Amino acid sequence: MTWKDVLVFADGTDSGVARAICAGEIAALSEADLAVCVLAEMTAMSVGGVSPAMSDAHEQARRSARDDAGRLLEAIESGAGSLSSRFAISVLETPHADASRLVSSLARSSDLVICAQPIDQDGTSMDETVLTSCLMGSGRPCLMLPRRPGWSMIGRRVLVCWNGSREASRAAHDALPLLAQAQAVLVMLSGPEDRMDGTDNGGLLRVCTHLSRHGVRVEGPETSAAAKGAGERILGAADEFGADLIVMGAFGRSPWRERMMGGVTRNVLRTTRLPVFLSH
C-alpha cells in the first residue's frame, strides 16, 4: 500500500511552510504527487452586490494568498533535492461558508490530506473547517501537524491508539505506509473497557499480530489502566514512549458539523505538540 496523491493545505506562515515541506518529504517517500493548496477566504456576496470596501477586501485576500503561494514555492524548490519534484501550488478563493464543500471535494481524490492544528476555541476558524471537512466529509485520512514547526521527519516512533472501534481500525490501516517504515510502533488501549466490542480488550492483541504481519515493528501492546482521562493517557503514553506521531480514530458525536470531533479527539488535537494521524 502506497500513497500516490498527497494534498496539503498551507499558507505563508512559518508553520505553513514547514507543513508544505513535511508534505513534500512524505510524498517523496511514496513517490507521490504533491498538491499544495492555499485558501483565499472571501467575504460572502450580498444581495446588493459587491461594495467598494468588499472589493478591496477581496483583492487584499487575493494578494495575501498569492504572496503565501510564492513563499511556499520558494521553500519547496529550495529543497527540491530531497523532496518530490512532482508538485503543484494552487490558490483557491472561497467564502468561509463554502469552504467545507470545497475542501471535502479536493480531499476525496487524495490518498492523504495534511492540515494545520486548530487553535481557536469556538470552531469558526478556517483551520478548524479544513480539518473537520477532511475528516468527516472526504473519507480520507488526515495528518494534522502542530502549529509550532519544531518536528523533524515524522514516523520513527509511532503510538497507535486502539479501542476496537471501526474508526481505530480505519486509522491503523490508513497509516500503514508510515507504520511499515517506523522503527518502533506501540499499540495502546485508549478507551473504556466497557465500550470494547468483544473480548481481549477489543482485539488489542489481534491487531498487534495483524500489524506485525504487514511488517510493522510492534512493541507492546500497552494495556495499563490509569485514572486520567483518555486524552491525557494518550499524550502521557506518547511522551513516555518518545513518540513523534500519534495515530488515532476521530470520533463524531455532535449533530453540528463544527462540533463533529469527539471530546477525546478534540482534547488531543488542542493540546498535543506532536503530529496526529486521524481517520473517521
* Phi and psi angles of residue 226, each rounded to the nearest 5 degrees, phi first: -150, 155
The tens digit of pLDDT for each residue in 200-258 reads 566 889 999 999 999 999 987 876 545 467 788 899 999 999 999 999 998 655 434 43
128 with 178, same domain: the answer is no
Q: Is residue 253 part of a domain?
A: yes
Residue 279 has which C-alpha cell? 481517520
122 with 22, same domain: the answer is yes
Asked if 163 and 196 count as a contact pair (C-beta separation under 8 A), the reply is yes
> What total number of domains does the chain contain?
2
Quote the radius of gyration of the chain (alpha carbons, Å). Answer: 19
Strand partners, 222: 188
Q: Is residue 171 part of a domain?
A: yes
What's the whole-number mean pLDDT along residues 176-200? 77
Give the Cβ contact number of residue 271 at 10 Å: 11
The more confidently predicted of residues 82 and 73 is 73
Q: List Cβ neighbours of 262 (8 Å cut-off, separation of 6 or more).
A: 250, 251, 252, 253
141 with 119, same domain: the answer is yes
Q: End-to-end alpha-carbon separation of the chain, Å? A: 19
Q: Is 89's pLDDT higher than 80?
A: yes
55 with 102, same domain: the answer is yes
Question: Positive or negative, the Cα torsion across 45, 50, 52, 58?
Answer: positive
Residue 271 has which C-alpha cell? 493540546
19 with 140, same domain: the answer is yes
Of 115, 145, 175, the last residue of a domain is 145
Q: Helix (H, G, I), strand (E, B), or coil: what is residue 93?
A: strand
For the entire predicted model, the pTM comes to: 0.88
94 with 36, same domain: the answer is yes
Q: Is residue 85 part of a domain?
A: yes
10 with 128, same domain: the answer is yes
105 with 212, same domain: the answer is no
Q: Is residue 150 part of a domain?
A: no
The tens digit of pLDDT for each residue in 118-174 reads 876 555 588 989 999 999 999 999 999 998 766 667 899 999 999 888 999 999 999
C-alpha distances out from residue 190 to 225, 245, 273, Å: 9, 15, 19
Q: Grid cell 476558524 — which residue?
A: 125
Q: Which of 8, 197, 187, 13 is nearest to 89 (CA)?
A: 8
Task: Give Dmax over CA atoms of the chain in angstroms.
Answer: 65
CATH number, domain with residue 202: 3.40.50.620
Query: How many helices (H) and strands (E) are present in the chain, helices listed first?
Result: 9, 10
Q: Which domain holds residue 241?
A: 157-279
118 with 176, same domain: the answer is no
Give residue 164's region: left, alpha or beta (phi > 0; psi -120 to 50): left
